[in-house]
Amino acid sequence: MTADTRSTSRLRHDPLVRGLGWASALLGVPQVVDPAGFARALGVGDGSRQRLTTAAVGVRELAAAAGLLWRPRPAWLWGRVGGDLMDLAALARALRNHDGRGLGRTVAATAAVTVITATDVYAAVTRTRRSAPMELTATTTVAGRPDEVYDLWTDLERLPDFMAHLEDVRVTGPRTTHWRASAPFGRTVEWDAEVTRDVPGRLIAWRSADGADVDNSGEVRLAPAPGDRGTELQVTLRYDLPGGALGKTAARYFGEEPHQQLDDDLRRFKQIVETGEIVRSEGAPGGKRARGEFPQHPARPLTEGELKEALT
């Protein structure tokens, strides 16, 4: 899970985030200016240790305030949550060792920090846009020389023939293409991509342009396989999966395990290179649309209706 910098401007105008920022500032200033007074107000005594702790907490609060007000990012909110937990721990220790003077104030402070903690947790959880960068790799060996395999792969408009999720790839310029793919839960995502590196017979790499539904990039590396066994092909795909870890889990639950998909994509590529087309069985007649869903169609010949559905 990573915080997303693009949410900075959104958080700058978020009343809850700004409120927490000002609250940090209002607490931090007296803590730093008069730590002894602040400690007394909490009823925890004004010994040197209490003064030092209070001043340190004040510095932390000012840092959080600065962060939340000038460069708001979810990380600052999570920082506040961490600080709250430290405060609660300190207050709990103070309550345990309390000499009785000002106990009511300490209890009240603990209650207040508890409420603040809850608010911070709420803010941090709701303001974190979860996006999980995911990197997939898959590899296969196919018959043919690297330059031949390179030519087949770089015929980008044919990628949807074997990549299950790609619906369409259109060449829009010498180095640019437009991609359309199906995403989990029946959605479609589109993006423009540009080739970032291209070494014929060795490597091709691409990256989605700004404004893509899903930021992604990828590369294919080709190398001759030892023992005259053709070409080793290694594919790497990176993308920010919407919904983060939760989305990943949900997608898996619905049978769309990304790693398996990429492996199957490469198997189909290999089939096309080596046999000319994707091998269909009666159980999995749909070619690239046969995504290993079970139970399958029984292994018996297809009716005309089933045939039409499988072959179109």
Partner 1 sequence: MKANCWTGRNTVEVLDVPEPSILNSRDAIVRITSTAICGSDLHLLDGYVPTMEKGDVMGHEFMGEVVEVGSGIDADKLRVGDRVVVPFPIACGACGACRAELYSCCENTNPNAGLSEKFFGHPTAGIYGYSHLTGGFAGGQAEYARVVLADVNALKIGSDLDDEQVLFLSDILPTGYMGAEMCDIQEGDVVAVWGAGPVGQFAMDSARVLGAEKVIAIDKETYRLDMATAEGYTAVDYEDVDVRSALLELTGGRGPDKCIDAVGMEATHGASHVQLYDRAKQAARSETDRPHALRQAILSCRSGGVVSVIGVYGGLIDKFPAGAWMNRSLTLRTGQCHVQKYMKPLLGLIEQGKIDPTRVITHRLPLSEAPTGYELFKNKADNCEKVVLRP
Query: Quick one: how far is CA 137 from the chain centroid?
Result: 17
By CB under 8 A, tell whether 280 contacts partner 1.
yes
Cβ at position 163, least distance to partner 1 in Å: 15
Q: Point out which span in 41-49, 69-77, 201-209, 263-271 binds partner 1 (CB under 8 A).
A: 263-271
Q: 258-287 burial, b if ≥16 CB within 10 A, otherwise e? A: beebbbbbbebbbbbbeeeebeeeeebbbb
Q: Point out which span in 49-57, 71-79, 184-192, 272-280 binds partner 1 (CB under 8 A).
A: 272-280
Q: Contact, 59 vs 29, CB < 8 A?
A: no
Closest to 260 (Cα-Cα) out of 134, 136, 132: 136
By CB under 8 A, tell whether 294 contacts partner 1.
yes
φ, ψ for residue 303 (rounded to 5)?
-75, 170
Comparing CB distances to partner 1, the nearer of 32 and 310 is 310
Comparing CB distances to partner 1, the nearer of 127 and 270 is 270
3-state DSSP percent of the chain in helix, strand and coil, to 5 = 55, 20, 25
Residues in contact with 6: Cβ distance below 8 Å, sequence separation at least 6, in sequence order? none
Cβ at position 225, least distance to partner 1 in Å: 8
By CB under 8 A, tell whether 260 contacts partner 1.
yes
By CB under 8 A, tell whether 299 contacts partner 1.
yes
Cβ at position 2, least distance to partner 1 in Å: 30
By CB under 8 A, tell whether 146 contacts partner 1.
no
Rounded CA gap, 37 and 58, in Å? 13
Residue choice 15, 174, 211, 301 for contact with partner 1 (CB under 8 A): 301
Residue choice 114, 141, 182, 234 for contact with partner 1 (CB under 8 A): 141
Q: Point out which span in 11-19, 54-62, 123-131, 298-306 binds partner 1 (CB under 8 A).
A: 298-306
Instruction: Calculate the alpha carbon distances from 290 to 180, 273, 298, 312 in Å.
Output: 19, 19, 13, 13
Cβ at position 139, least distance to partner 1 in Å: 13
By CB under 8 A, tell whether 267 contacts partner 1.
yes
Q: How many residues bind partner 1 (CB under 8 A)?
A: 38
Strand order in the sheet with 131-142: 131-142, 231-242, 216-224, 203-208, 187-199, 176-183, 166-171
Interface residue list for partner 1 (CB under 8 A): 141, 143, 229-230, 260, 263-264, 267, 270-271, 274-285, 290, 292, 294-304, 307, 310-311
